[in-house]
Amino acid sequence: MKNLIRNTSLGAAVVLMAACNSDGIGPNPALSPMLNRDVAQVAADIVGEDVDLMTDQALGDGPMGFFSVASDEFAMRDCPFVNGRFECPPVTRGPLTFLRSFAFFDAQGGAQEAFDPLTTASANFVTSVEGEVSRDAWSASVSRDRDRTVSGLVGEETTRTWNGTGSGEISRSRHTDGEEARTYEMEYTSSTSNVVVGVPRADNPWPLSGTVTKNVTVTITGGPRDGTTATRTVVVTFNGTQFVTATVNGETFEIDLGNHRVRGGGR
């Protein structure tokens, strides 16, 4: 399975870029006027999945989540402790396959062989996702890697804070809304900066604050612009609601975290 685990260093914020010739700034007649929105849609899917993994919608605190697994002695048998980490088998959810490992640390940074709600201060999660996605007028094949650490776990926590980095590839990204169908190949790097989530999730369904930044290189495939590359910068800022703002080279879009999609057009 390609690129299922790729360790990356921790970063500081979340930005999404997709190449606009050499400088990535300003209009370019060789590029589709829909490019910013197309990049925003890709960002919406990635960041929506980011949120799922930080909460319990996919692999966070739910039945297949890290914390649930860590507190379930039977489930832990499927995630053996190897060289300081718990290595879990692949999990398939619809068209996506997740591979994950995790490690627990006390306040002094010492590795722990079990999660302890009284002494575990932080946890590191390495997650890889591969498969197909399809949302309304967009579809693609994806390969995504994340390396993130959550802190603030000791005692009766009310919030957790996430930081980390990631990278990925999006193949055959096909967008059919608006003008003619547009297709791209994309690569990106990303960082998660001080994303605060409330505990329990039932009372705090969406991240309260923080940013996600993803740096993306886009290559147009097919049509008269075949082979043209572009860069864009997308910054997503969380506000405690399902609907958050994403800026793409200064153009503003609204992202629906629950449905992993862009709402309406740009500003």
Rounded Cα distance between 234 and 17, Å, is: 6
Whether 6 is in a domain gets the answer: no
Of 45, 70, 43, the closest CA to residue 59 belongs to 70
Q: Is the Cβ–Cβ distance between 127 and 142 less than 8 Å?
A: no
Whether 7 is in a domain gets the answer: no
Q: Check residue 169 and give its pLDDT.
A: 96
Q: Check residue 199 and give its pLDDT.
A: 84
Query: What are the phi and psi torsion angles at 255 (to 5°)?
Result: -105, 135
Tell me the per-residue pLDDT of 170-215, one tens digit each, with 9 for 90 and over: 999 999 876 678 999 999 999 999 999 998 877 888 999 999 999 9
Q: What is the mean pLDDT of each run of 10 residues along the chain (267 residues)?
A: 39 34 43 85 93 66 54 65 88 88 92 87 92 90 95 88 96 83 94 93 90 94 90 95 94 94 68
Q: Check residue 178 and give its pLDDT.
A: 63
Amino acid (one-letter) located at 76: M
Tell me which residue range forms the domain holding 78. Answer: 15-263
Q: Check residue 24 and give its pLDDT.
A: 42
Count the residues in the chain. 267
Q: Check residue 11 and give its pLDDT.
A: 34
Q: How far is CA 262 from the centre of its chain?
A: 15
Q: Residue 104 contacts by C-beta under 8 Å, 6 or more apart in sequence?
A: 70, 111, 112, 113, 114, 115, 116, 120, 122, 123
Whether 258 is in a domain gets the answer: yes
Whether 92 is in a domain gets the answer: yes
Q: Check residue 76 and give its pLDDT.
A: 60
The domain total for the chain is 1
Whether 2 is in a domain gets the answer: no
